[in-house]
């Protein structure tokens, strides 16, 4: 397993639509292992493959609370099969937009279809943090960031702040 670099805005790769995965094989499982290790190290609760520079339709997640055993989840070629009319607002963050947090409104519940770590086909319903996180991560697969749900002013400010922090970090190094 290896830690991978998480790309940040304004890297143009984050705007790319990720490609479907043809086969869940050992190569893909190695990528998912690396993604999970990278996500735990960040730390984060979810990560899409494009965030480590690989535009494939793959997501890892772990929503275990502090003190609970790890609960890694893997989503290959995920699809949303239905969305609730009820909406929910929750604060979101993103490892590709570090240190920026804001509220986003999304459907409160969604139906999911995806393949897991073994390639098995799964269908399940999601609510609460799982619904928020999977919609955030599936946006990444379409080249959409949570700041794209905010006003242009907030989005531009967020990108400028991340760019400045990266520049300051380079100077200090
Ligand atoms: O960049 C990402 O896509 C990961 C992102 C996922 C997410 C968070 C909140 C709402 C929706 C999606 C993160 O993990 S940001 C970091 C974070 O939320 C966190 C970090 C440490 C402990 C607990 C949470
Ligand atoms: Zn994100």
Q: Dump pLDDT digits (tens) for 79-94.
A: 999 999 999 999 999 9
168 CA to centre of ligand 2 in angstroms: 22
- The pLDDT of residue 169 is 87
Would you say the CB of residue 92 lies under 6 angstroms from ligand 1?
yes
Do the Cβ atoms of 97 and 146 come closer than 8 Å? yes
Residue-averaged pLDDT of the chain: 97
Nearest residue (CA) to ligand 1, atom 6: 46
73 has a pLDDT exceeding 90: yes
Query: What is the number of the ligand 1 atom nearest to the C-alpha of 97?
Result: 1
Ligand that comes closest to the CA of residue 132: 1
- The pLDDT of residue 173 is 79
Nearest residue (CA) to ligand 1, atom 14: 44
SS (H, E, C) 51-109: HHCCCECEEEEECCCCCCCCCEEEEEEEEEEEECCCEEEEEECCCCCCCCCEEEEEECE
166 CA to centre of ligand 2 in angstroms: 17
Ligand that comes closest to the CA of residue 39: 1
Can you tell me the mean pLDDT for 146-164? Answer: 97
Q: Which residues surround ligand 2, an ion (CB under 5 A)?
A: 94
pTM exceeds 0.85 for this model: yes
171 has a pLDDT exceeding 90: no
Of 45, 42, 41, 49, the C-alpha closest to 19 is 49
Q: What percent of the chain is modeled with pLDDT above 70?
A: 100
68 CA to centre of ligand 2 in angstroms: 23
Report pLDDT digits (tens) over 103-141. Answer: 999 999 999 999 999 999 999 999 999 999 999 999 999
- The pLDDT of residue 56 is 98
CA distance from start to end of the chain: 27
- The pLDDT of residue 170 is 86
Do the Cβ atoms of 104 and 145 come closer than 8 Å? no
137 is catalytic: yes
């Amino acid at each position: 397993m290896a830690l991978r670099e998480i790309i940040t805005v304004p890297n143009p790769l984050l705007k790319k639509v990720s490609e479907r995965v043809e086969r869940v094989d050992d190569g893909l499982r190695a990528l998912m292992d690396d993604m999970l290790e990278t996500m735990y190290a960040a730390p984060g609760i979810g990560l899409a493959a494009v965030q480590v520079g690989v535009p494939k339709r793959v997501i890892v997640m772990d929503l275990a609370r502090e003190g609970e055993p790890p609960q890694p989840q893997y989503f290959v070629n995920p699809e949303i099969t239905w969305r609730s009319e009820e909406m929910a607002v929750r604060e979101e963050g993103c490892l590709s937009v570090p240190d920026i947090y804001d509220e986003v409104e999304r459907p409160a519940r969604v139906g999911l279809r995806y393949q897991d770590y073994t390639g098995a086909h799964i269908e399940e319903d999601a609510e609460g943090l799982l619904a928020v996180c999977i919609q955030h991560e599936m946006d990444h697969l379409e080249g959409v960031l949570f700041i794209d749900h905010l006003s242009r002013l907030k989005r531009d400010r967020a990108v400028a702040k991340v760019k400045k922090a990266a520049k300051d970090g380079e100077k200090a190094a």
